Amino acid sequence: MLKVEWTYPVYKPTTPRPRPGQRTVSKQVERALPIEKAYMLVADGDKRPLLIMRECELCKGTDHAVLSRTLSNEQTVLLTHWFRCVKLPPNVLTEKHPFFNLFKKGEKQKKVPHLFFSDPNGDNKTALPGDQSQSELWKVMFTYLDRCYDENAKSAIKQLRKVLGAYDKLDAAEQLVRSRIDKEIEKNGPKSKKLKKFDKDLAKLAVEREKLRAKEKDLRDLALKAPVEPKPETANQQEG
């Protein structure tokens, strides 16, 4: 549950096949893709909002707000499951990189952001520096979740954190039973009658784990809002 599911899009220009009687064809030059095509490729049909981050060789550690695995950051990781998380390499800032336009600095920007959020088509873009606080990051993430999903993400997060705690208890209980099995085998051998009871205990824990997985799946499965359809033009607008 506490793992960010990154995607790593790669675009390679294709060289068209030579036509009959044609000996050679011109090779496509590596260049930045038009912004619309860049978003289409990184979204890849996923309707979830985008979280796009660039790796940085000079600023290692500035993406800790997203990548940290500490317990205080578990909410961040849980929230990422409702986004399509895209990670791009440091050379995305070179002008010939296919996804350069995603991180191209705007006229009013002093620095290139380390990560940004947007709709799958690039609308409603919000950029962050990378060293933002957890509370700043959560505020942005919940803004997108409230706008893009029909169900309440804050309520789901509270329940998912309870599921995490329940998983921890199950893990501890299972570890205890297995340690008792090892001690019993060491003391009385693999044919000990007590092992059947321990096997039943493990089976009960497995049933509880399956129930938790089903609950986790249900909590994760928030429904996206239907896309807003453009309003049809009225007869007067068409005439005008």
Q: Return the higher-pLDDT residue of 226 and 38.
A: 38
Q: Is the pLDDT of residue 227 over 80?
A: no
Reported pTM: 0.79
Asked if pLDDT for residue 108 goes beyond 80, the answer is no
Q: Could you give the maximum distance between any two Cα atoms of the chain, in Å?
A: 93
Q: Which CATH number is associated with domain 6-16+25-148? A: 3.40.30.10
Task: Give the end-to-end CA distance of the chain in Å, rounded to a whole number.
Answer: 55
Whether the pLDDT of residue 195 is over 90: the answer is yes
Alpha-carbon distance of 94 to 116, in angstroms, equals 18
Tokens of 142: 């919940």
Give the sheet arrangement for strand 84-88, strand by strand: 6-7, 84-88, 50-54, 115-118, 126-128
Average pLDDT over residues 104-119: 82
The domain ranges of the chain are 6-16+25-148, 153-220
C-alpha distances in Å from residue 208, one per residue of 21, 165, 169, 177, 204: 68, 13, 11, 15, 6
50-54, 81-85, 201-205, 233-237: least confident range: 233-237
pLDDT at 233: 54
